[in-house]
A and B are shown apart, each in its own frame.
Chain A
């Protein structure tokens, strides 16, 4: 278990003792120092037991707490979209993906294209806890000389497949990877994580056409449909509903799930793998800022940075989220 302690960030110097001790208490209980279940992986095919579902659900909250701390300490990053994708990334990296942190370049690994690159604090957190690089390195997020860039950079961060940040690339890149798997006669799958805001982008729909034309049944897209983008609700910024009907009309197999329900996520991923003859999309209905009351559904928390009080309150709420899944 890698320990990640301290912050190295200058804090207000004048604070009363009770506040300090309360913060220390929060740090201790949130789990950086040993409450993770040693990053347990449930192999592909493992039965979705209630214990597994509870464990993965609990860890999604712990990973949120880690993201919160990274953004709070760096005073930079994107929390809202990272929180909405926590359960989905946890399900993929700790159960569904056929990957090997010891061999990030293994040719037959499943590919994950993280198209909504701004939410990479969660991707980095999950990759670190999956063993792609030391958890301690997460504290270097967005710092000079760090391998953890503001948005993902392949080749720099182990486990990152492609650059992301400018939105809209995921489906077309995933289609290329799926064609590559087909040409290589490989059974590997390609998973693409999209935000709903990036559905505004035209190249997304070019990608849908390409994937459907070639019948890429090894391509699985998950849309983190949290309903909020940078300046407001997606419904008002750029309406994309009825989104399921749109994807279906492009000849994709469509399912819709509750994107914070671990059991639904795990089942949907399994079912998506059984789709043949066409690509599959899972529209995951999620909540931006999930897990922290004042962050949920608030556009400000797309890129907002918590102050000391907000950090403390958010940490406590996430801790409560962890507790609700503890046996």
Chain B
């Protein structure tokens, strides 16, 4: 029980940050400490065992009062409540209540069972069934079924709403409950029940969890009028991310790139070490920190620990970073350092604003359960704390704001399979996004307010003709599926990405 602090991470649950398109991987650190030296610098070794301090009578009357009050309430509830609730259940609920009282979404208590299931490294692959899901009304709806994945072989489809896992009805319990239930050990079976549009009963599929490829780094070489431009997308800052990033950069530099776009949009963060090493590829040692961190104990912050650049010269090409409102934590460390320390451009929209760092505690008495506690802050190069709540700034503010096309913010069209939408109907949830898709995809300049007029009908017919669908000018489920696919294909092309195009214009202005 002496060992209290096991690790530091910027990150608790990626799932709590991204609203759409999370894979079933929930990325958390496990075991290794990316920043051991911070621990040592923080007097943690001096810290008494929390139980000792209780026994030592360190606590005052308030504590006694609160404890006896707590026990009285348990006793009353257990004795008199008509539902006959057990004290075990009450104490478990009390634990969660304590964390709720912190009003901090990144501090959490995980049972041993959850820890086991969460125990996935932020690696280049993860064990799962191979789907990415998006939250529609907080229900997980499958957006992509990965190629050659267990989910594809079993027959899960885009648009399926995951309702049951291993026989348990999880409807109404939210994304995370479903994700946690799906996760498990490689080679074990899981039965998934889905609601599929057009089919009234739940469909069940059994599949075996397998290693799913999940690259944290993707890159591309883009020729802009003969000018080679490098593009590297970082999906999260995992254990192998730095190595992969470095390889990608070397490859691109071999092609003599004249500009580099680093895309950390929708990147919920990750290890401090990963972002530190990547920043070190670009930023020079000029006496200013790239960023700093500090930890708290009994409300007192430690002296900040500074991290300095290590290059002697900056790269000979310009670098633009792309962020959006789902860029969080380590992504914000990266973007703010590139901006404030390197003086590089950051394009996009203001980031999410997560300036806290979580430490994990699992003393023996928790018997395998784990607490994650927001204990530290990270500060930008200029010493600012960026945090949604109470920070100096609420997010990293881009040097130039670029709002994405509306189509990049839409969810899939998803409705009961026997429903259709046609001329003269009004629907804000389906017809309005359908109009935005049709307009953006070039099937007609039409109204986008949710009223299905004749022009909308013509545009829909043009889409149906182009995709060999029943030509009736009516939106049925088949047409909706085709529209969803067309939308995802459109979004996947760099040439349609307004933020990327804006980055190119930065290079061209030089």
Q: Do A and B bind each other?
A: no
Residues of A within 8 A of B (CB): none
Residues of B within 8 A of A (CB): none
